[in-house]
Amino acid sequence: MRAAWCVLALSVAAPLRAQPARTGAIDPPLSPRNASYTIRATLDPATRTITGTETIVWRNISSRAATDLQFHLYWNAWRDARSTFMRERALSGAPSDNPPRRSDEWGRIDISSIALTSPASGDLTASQRFIAPDDGNEHDRTVLSVPLVLPIEPGGSATIDIGWTAHVPRTIARTGAIGNYFFIAQWFPKVGVLQDEGWNCHQFHAATEFFADYGVYDVSLTVPTGWPLGATGVEREKRDNGNGTTTHRYHQDDVHDFAWTTSPDYLVRTATFEHPTLPAVDMRLLLQPEHDGQADRHFDATRATLKYYGEWYGPYPYGHITIVDPAWQSGAGGMEYPTLFTAGTRWLAPARVTTPESVTVHEAGHQFWYGVVGNNEFEHAWLDEGFNTFSTARAVSQVFDPNYLAVRYFGGFVPWVFRDIRISRETDGNRLTGYRRDAESDAQSTLSWRYFPATGGSITYNKTALWLNTMERWLGWPTLQRIMSTFFNAWAFKHPKPDDFFRTASGVAGSDLTWFFDQAQRSSNVFDYGIQDLKSERDGDRVRTTVVVRRYGEAVFPVEVLVTFENGDRVTERWDGRERWTMYVYERPSQALHAQVDPNRVLLLDVSPTNNSRTLRPQGRRAATKWSAKWLVWLEDYLLTWAALV
């Protein structure tokens, strides 16, 4: 273990190369490009039908032969209520469709032809079959297997031609149509990821997202003439077909997905991101007409993301980005796709509320954690969602600090905006919410799609942000920043697994942090330190003070204990936190006023910060302490709202 991370510490990857080309082309390649797509698709808005053909050039970069090909057909999750997605959605407590879905408002995707043209194997349409590798649900049609006549050996390639038709659902899970607004994501037959262990091609689950290899996308989309269109990549050609339709051809190298949107209502705005050391980025915004005055808020939040994520982790490599403001009531809130993302819609918010900025920063931030670093979102969703939640909060607190009531706290940043926290608190009343409520629901190391759907968000988003915050307070931001940038650069355009991050963290920190990840990530144990007892008794001309500190939770973390005396003396103890309790006894001229465990709030994972201190008599400083404790309760409540982001 130790040897491995020492080696790693010596081989920090070179930073990503800046790529100023703004044509969607990148040379030399940044990624393996082993799953590339040439797609032609036509949208008929009247019938909400997409007709498409695609050629996939796939290369086997694993060490095992492929005896079949596996494809995601995500839209079949919305074919009817019997899919695994819809069953899990019901479990998650998500509200059912209102109004209920008419039969033509469900979605579907049907493959009409599939053929292997290289190595030539002819038409394989008849041999396609649905499989359900995760739960055996015979009604689930989100994964297709096509057996191969001849296996494709490691290093070998295949060229696959597929034809399909799809019905666009009424918006669900941020995809679909409402009125003349179309947001088209996870929409084409998409090859799974072949790994040394076999195909990684999960069914579509309600609480998890996606996983795919990197490649080149060249996509021609035919839509009504005059409808603005936004898509992954850069528009290279626009051809009026003379029949009321126009074909837009988009291109992007080194991405792992492709999404697009069109609507006659979009306003199109453009701006540029410039920075002294980072490459310039063209920003294109597709805006709902009623949000015309909000363009700068979108651009400013996107600039903040490109700046801070770029400075902390590495430059944004694509040279352009498209921001989509989804239609009101589209259900298409914030969501990330390569070089394109959707921002929030609840934009009646007054200027002082930073929620829209938070959503925009979060979704733009996924360009780094999801887009560049391509972890498996079915299995380790915390790697992108948790890292991005932490980073979002940090960026928002940096850039909007002067204007937006972000508060700094005990020398470390506090990532949440006070006003938002208060609103959240009022909304939630006194219910226990977020990570504190769900802390023991799942160990984070459980595969994400197996988390209990109703509480998985707290573990994926909140817990990761809390343990990264804890690492920042404990190791310092310079060290955590080096850990995260080293990981970012080493795993750009690759598929890291959790141990890759843990090895990087120990290597950069220069000490083995396995014990911390064993508790924070590999278990569902809770951290909870508290002051059990504080007593001062006069004994002659001395006062005997007794402080009892307890570890109420199973998880262990070294903590400080601060005891403050009436005469102003302060004593700081360092406890390794391993036993279930410890006691400190002082013989002093003065009685104790206050005892506090973890006075600097390093352990942000502590599930009940309100038991962290005891006071013998009121004093000036007490008010501040109590306020701080309440503030942390608000903070944790606020973390719950992040579970609503994706």
Whichever of 373 and 561 has its CB closer to Zn ion, that residue is 373
User: Which residue stretch of 46-54, 221-229, 385-393, 622-630 sits at the interface with Zn ion (rule: CB under 5 A)?
Assistant: 385-393
Whichever of 406 and 646 has its CB closer to Zn ion, that residue is 646
Question: Residue 484 in 3-state DSSP?
Answer: helix
The nearest distance, CB 462 to Zn ion, in angstroms, is 12
Reduced DSSP (H G I as helix, E B as strand, rest coil) percent helix, strand, coil of the chain, to 5: 30, 30, 40
Query: What is the rounded CA–CA span in Å between residue 84 and residue 30?
Result: 35
User: Which residue stretch of 193-201, 379-387, 476-484, 589-597 sits at the interface with Zn ion (rule: CB under 5 A)?
Assistant: 379-387
Binding mask 510-549 for Zn ion (x = CB under 5 A): ----------------------------------------
The nearest distance, CB 101 to Zn ion, in angstroms, is 26
Query: What is the rounded CA–CA span in Å between residue 151 and residue 65?
Result: 6
Query: What is the rounded CA–CA span in Å between residue 154 and residue 152?
Result: 7
Binding mask 334-373 for Zn ion (x = CB under 5 A): ----------------------------------------
The nearest distance, CB 385 to Zn ion, in angstroms, is 5
Residue type at position 388 = N
Whichever of 563 and 645 has its CB closer to Zn ion, that residue is 645
Check whether the bond before 28 is cis (ω within 30° of 0). Answer: yes
Question: Residue 627 in 3-state DSSP?
Answer: helix
User: Which residue stretch of 88-96, 110-118, 219-227, 382-390 sits at the interface with Zn ion (rule: CB under 5 A)?
Assistant: 382-390
User: Which residue stretch of 184-192, 282-290, 381-389, 507-515 sits at the interface with Zn ion (rule: CB under 5 A)?
Assistant: 381-389
Whichever of 4 and 644 has its CB closer to Zn ion, that residue is 644
User: Which residue stretch of 216-224, 383-391, 428-436, 603-611 sits at the interface with Zn ion (rule: CB under 5 A)?
Assistant: 383-391
The nearest distance, CB 487 to Zn ion, in angstroms, is 18
The strand pairing partners of 146, in sequence order, are: 69
Whichever of 223 and 381 has its CB closer to Zn ion, that residue is 381
Sign of CA dihedral 330, 336, 341, 344: positive
CB neighbours of 194 closer than 8 A, spacing ≥ 6? 60, 61, 62, 64, 66, 200
The nearest distance, CB 372 to Zn ion, in angstroms, is 14
Q: How many residues does the chain have?
A: 646
E strand or H helix that includes residue 184: strand 181-184
Whichever of 633 and 646 has its CB closer to Zn ion, that residue is 646
The nearest distance, CB 335 to Zn ion, in angstroms, is 8
The nearest distance, CB 334 to Zn ion, in angstroms, is 7
User: Which residue stretch of 65-73, 113-121, 536-544, 637-645 sits at the interface with Zn ion (rule: CB under 5 A)?
Assistant: 637-645
Query: What is each CA distance from 480 to 395, 410, 441, 454, in whole angstroms?
Result: 15, 18, 27, 31
- Size, binding site for Zn ion by CB under 5 A: 3
Structure token digits, residue 35: 């799953």
The nearest distance, CB 607 to Zn ion, in angstroms, is 23
Task: For residue 237, report the phi and psi dihedrals to the nearest 5 degrees.
Answer: -150, 150
The nearest distance, CB 55 to Zn ion, in angstroms, is 31
Spatial contact of 227 and 245, defined as CB atoms under 8 Å apart: no
The nearest distance, CB 354 to Zn ion, in angstroms, is 17
* Cβ atoms < 10 Å from Cβ of 43: 25
Q: Which of residues 4-43 bind Zn ion (CB under 5 A)?
A: none
Whichever of 19 and 367 has its CB closer to Zn ion, that residue is 367
In the DSSP assignment, the letter for residue 22 is -
Contacting Zn ion (CB under 5 A), which of 209, 325, 385, 438?
A: 385
Whichever of 557 and 642 has its CB closer to Zn ion, that residue is 642
Whichever of 162 and 645 has its CB closer to Zn ion, that residue is 645
The nearest distance, CB 305 to Zn ion, in angstroms, is 12
Spatial contact of 438 and 642, defined as CB atoms under 8 Å apart: no
The nearest distance, CB 382 to Zn ion, in angstroms, is 11
* Residue ranges with strand state E in 492-600: 529-539, 542-551, 559-565, 570-575, 581-588, 592-597
User: Which residue stretch of 77-85, 158-166, 380-388, 551-559 sits at the interface with Zn ion (rule: CB under 5 A)?
Assistant: 380-388
Whichever of 385 and 598 has its CB closer to Zn ion, that residue is 385
Whichever of 36 and 464 has its CB closer to Zn ion, that residue is 464
Q: Is 472 in the site for Zn ion (CB under 5 A)?
A: no
Check whether the bond before 119 is cis (ω within 30° of 0). Answer: yes
Query: What is the rounded CA–CA span in Å between residue 567 and residue 549?
Result: 22
The nearest distance, CB 416 to Zn ion, in angstroms, is 16
Cα 359 to chain centroid distance, Å, stands at 12
Query: What is the rounded CA–CA span in Å between residue 196 and residue 624?
Result: 55
Whichever of 87 and 298 has its CB closer to Zn ion, that residue is 298
User: Which residue stretch of 38-46, 292-300, 377-385, 619-627 sits at the interface with Zn ion (rule: CB under 5 A)?
Assistant: 377-385
Whichever of 559 and 645 has its CB closer to Zn ion, that residue is 645
In the DSSP assignment, the letter for residue 310 is H
Whichever of 189 and 386 has its CB closer to Zn ion, that residue is 386
CB neighbours of 489 closer than 8 A, spacing ≥ 6? 12, 13, 14, 15, 16, 313, 314
User: Which residue stretch of 384-392, 510-518, 544-552, 599-607 sits at the interface with Zn ion (rule: CB under 5 A)?
Assistant: 384-392
Burial 564-603 (b: 16+ CB within 10 A, else e): bbbeeeebeeebebeeeebeeebebeebbbbbbbbbbbbb
The nearest distance, CB 471 to Zn ion, in angstroms, is 20
List contacts with Zn ion (CB under 5 A): 385, 645-646
